[in-house]
Structure 1
């Protein structure tokens, strides 16, 4: 389809801005844009502009019908164009994001189950009216759950992922009439073509060796091949599971977390220069250079009474923190930390904070899975981080 040029009714938009609150303004802008988009879609389908006479005409305009689109900002009433023979169909509703559907559905579940928090109930009623039935929630669930399930179980043997990032975040879920913490395990990667991807997720109990082991086994069951490097924080159970499930894979300890951990153990005063020396150990590009800087640091401050704990930690974790230096220089900046995964977690948190307490584990799986699906599509459209690995 060619690019659509939109001509918005600015007088109508101005009236909304001058006489509405911020949410109404936002909704009005979206309604105007979507209505105009659908209008241009119909023009393109007909192959003529309004009031234009042409032998190339495909059909005739036949007014509009109203249709509701539910989004995370509320219910939008749209004017959907029609044609005489009924063959025209807009793609606006197909482009409605899965994560918005999941967000709405999770909030609906909270109302139906009577576990709404803060102003969630008010927001849901603004979005969906005064009544929300269990059958309505079930209908939406039946449509969305298989989509998320299919994505999270898709085969992973079509690509090779040399670098994998893993982390866990905690959420609150209602279970057996109690609010409990659940761990959400997430795996992302850089595949051999140089782009990021999201491999999968799992909602489970506390972060442990057994849980990480099961998560890795599920990824391998979907065809994941042994990577060259797995990057994560220093959770003991995670590290043990990596060693158990990925024989021959090196483990890279996130350098950002490692440096923070070392600096936290230092005195608070007059250590600016010492901090800089410590950070510089990880700024070089080969293991040999890093090791020499580390040895120099240890030798220089070995007799410092307040740095003994820091030196011991540096010695213990050094080799795990420089594994990325054995990889090509062009990927060092991308694989030495879990920063990319941390940023993804922040986006998940942005959605999760509104819900605060999920009504059940499946609801959390659905919402977070839908958000991850959308981000996976964004990754696929971006340029490569590096050339083919």
Structure 2
């Protein structure tokens, strides 16, 4: 299999030139400088040799590399090379080569037919191209990447046929994506940190086939902010209805995985959540997302008045303390817009006990805990990925897709972050659960430490 290692990545420089490094690049540059590739380049320019496609240069290089590797494996298995009678006699080997058989592999550069060597005893088991394997690992990685990007199984099959000329059945593609099930389970059950200063909870709606009918279910996602300010996706839970029993189960799962304490849990007013949080972490503060509260208040407001209503409510959630916020809400209620839309003030009053807690904090900390926008940014991208599917066959399929999408999203964020940090090259490994660093986290953490000195001290 031909793969590009991290050191072989080609990057653009500021002067418009193309730069690269690594053994492969150095080898090619050396051959090109020596003129050893001139005749090959001439034939490519004339059109005598194609780079890709059936019989192309790159597939032939892959075939040659694989066959050479398989031949080396056979030599290691037998203990002597092809035609080496002296080596065979010296090792006292009774087994010997017995020709080869053709095998067509689906690869990233198209179908490649190779000759797999075999021995007389039938004891040779190749590792480079395992028995019964018809695909190279790189193609599996490509399928999973396309699936994580939101493409359906049918779309992936069409894409592979069109781009690399490899035809795979829908069942084969499904089996490739199903192979991550163990990784998903391991991730969903992995140990968590003992303490998260801030946790966000939100959900997206998906259509799932259940008992012969399609129902709308909520995929709930939890994000925890650790002491370094990095956001971690803690888990995904599928439920068709919300309630205290469901949230009690979710909180219990996170507690069983190691979460001993949470300072602030920010959510969108989910039913039963405050009671479940307080039952699991008695000292946690449940904060209703202000942005969700504004949206709920504007539900029955005419479009041309929504900006004015939002401007009037700014004084409520921007107040210095809870008393001032109550005064500003009463002023809005008795004003022109408040009398025109009485449901606005009523919505805020119903959520008042879960809205006011964050008002006790300084401005920098308020920006961190007043809204679930941090998780909504992730959910927005997950909705784009799930939008291509009219329905999912089961709950496990939802978790699988969202997990792969989260891996892809967070990996991109990690790579972008590394590119901006002192010109570092991005690493190959996927970060899985690491997200963005919370803005102005150091100041917010200092304010949390001042507000909760006893609970923060063991973890600082």
TM-score interval (norm. to shorter): 0.5 to 0.7
State the partner residue of 2:316.
Answer: 281
Partner of 1:247: helix, strand, or coil?
Answer: coil
- 1:227 Cα deviation after fit: 1.1
State the partner residue of 1:100.
Answer: 145
Are 2:150 and 2:384, in contact at CA under 8 Å, matched by a contact in 1? no
- 1:232 Cα deviation after fit: 0.9
- 1:186 Cα deviation after fit: 0.3
> Cα–Cα, structure 1 residues 305 and 287, in superposed 2: closer, same or farther, change >3 Å?
closer
Rounded to whole Å, the distance in 1 between the matches of 2:330 and 2:357 is 17
Rounded to whole Å, the distance in 2 between the matches of 1:293 and 1:136 is 58
For 1:32-47, list aligned pairs within 5 A: 41-44=22-25
- 1:175 Cα deviation after fit: 3.2
- 1:313 Cα deviation after fit: 3.2
Rounded to whole Å, the distance in 1 between the matches of 2:23 and 2:267 is 50
Please point out which of 366, 376, 390 is paired with 1:332: 366
* Deviation larger for 316-325 or 358-367: 316-325
> Cα–Cα, structure 1 residues 279 and 125, in superposed 2: closer, same or farther, change >3 Å?
same
Query: Between Structure 1 and Structure 2, whose CA radius of gyration is higher?
Result: 2
The question of 1:294 aligning with 2:329 is answered yes
For 1:74-89, list aligned pairs within 5 A: 77=110
Are 1:160 and 1:191, in contact at CA under 8 Å, matched by a contact in 2? yes
Rounded to whole Å, the distance in 2 between the matches of 1:330 and 1:304 is 30
Rounded to whole Å, the distance in 1 between the matches of 2:233 and 2:401 is 15
- 1:224 Cα deviation after fit: 1.6
- 1:326 Cα deviation after fit: 2.8
Rounded to whole Å, the distance in 1 between the matches of 2:296 and 2:150 is 40
Please point out which of 171, 185, 203 is paired with 2:206: 171
State the partner residue of 2:375.
Answer: 341
- 1:387 Cα deviation after fit: 4.0
Are 2:143 and 2:173, in contact at CA under 8 Å, matched by a contact in 1? no
> Cα–Cα, structure 1 residues 179 and 42, in superposed 2: closer, same or farther, change >3 Å?
farther
| Residues matched between the structures, number | 324
Rounded to whole Å, the distance in 1 between the matches of 2:268 and 2:28 is 57
Partner of 1:49: helix, strand, or coil?
Answer: helix
The question of 1:242 aligning with 2:277 is answered yes
Please point out which of 5, 30, 33 is paired with 1:49: 30
Partner of 2:215: helix, strand, or coil?
Answer: strand
Are 2:106 and 2:166, in contact at CA under 8 Å, matched by a contact in 1? no
Rounded to whole Å, the distance in 2 between the matches of 1:104 and 1:68 is 21
Partner of 1:50: helix, strand, or coil?
Answer: helix
Are 2:230 and 2:437, in contact at CA under 8 Å, matched by a contact in 1? yes
Rounded to whole Å, the distance in 2 between the matches of 1:230 and 1:341 is 12
Post-superposition CA distance 1:58-97 (Å, at most 9, x none): xxxx972168566xxxxx6499xxxxxxx9xxxx949957
- 1:375 Cα deviation after fit: 3.4
- 1:382 Cα deviation after fit: 4.6
Q: Gaps spanning 5+ residues in structure 2: where? A: 1-5, 13-17, 35-57, 64-104, 113-127, 129-136, 415-433, 446-460
State the partner residue of 2:228.
Answer: 193
- 1:141 Cα deviation after fit: 2.0
Please point out which of 365, 379, 384 is paired with 1:350: 384
State the partner residue of 1:385.
Answer: 439
For 1:362-373, list aligned pairs within 5 A: 362-373=396-407
- 1:255 Cα deviation after fit: 0.6
- 1:369 Cα deviation after fit: 0.9
State the partner residue of 1:56.
Answer: none
Rounded to whole Å, the distance in 1 between the matches of 2:305 and 2:213 is 48
Rounded to whole Å, the distance in 1 between the matches of 2:354 and 2:28 is 63
Are 2:8 and 2:24, in contact at CA under 8 Å, matched by a contact in 1? no
State the partner residue of 2:122.
Answer: none
- 1:251 Cα deviation after fit: 1.1
Rounded to whole Å, the distance in 1 between the matches of 2:157 and 2:242 is 32
Partner of 2:262: helix, strand, or coil?
Answer: coil
Rounded to whole Å, the distance in 1 between the matches of 2:306 and 2:217 is 39
Post-superposition CA distance 1:345-378 (Å, at most 9, x none): 1111111111221233222211101112333443
- 1:166 Cα deviation after fit: 0.5
Rounded to whole Å, the distance in 1 between the matches of 2:111 and 2:368 is 44
State the partner residue of 1:137.
Answer: 174
Rounded to whole Å, the distance in 2 between the matches of 1:146 and 1:246 is 30
- 1:260 Cα deviation after fit: 2.4
Rounded to whole Å, the distance in 2 between the matches of 1:290 and 1:51 is 73
Partner of 1:180: helix, strand, or coil?
Answer: strand
| Structure-1-length-normalised TM-score | 0.67
CA RMSD of aligned residues (A): 4.2
The question of 1:215 aligning with 2:250 is answered yes
Q: Gaps spanning 5+ residues in structure 1: where? A: 8-32, 54-61, 71-75, 80-86, 112-118
| Structure-2-length-normalised TM-score | 0.58
Rounded to whole Å, the distance in 2 between the matches of 1:361 and 1:210 is 19
Rounded to whole Å, the distance in 2 between the matches of 1:312 and 1:331 is 27
State the partner residue of 2:123.
Answer: none
> Cα–Cα, structure 1 residues 136 and 193, in superposed 2: closer, same or farther, change >3 Å?
closer
Please point out which of 137, 151, 156 is paired with 2:187: 151
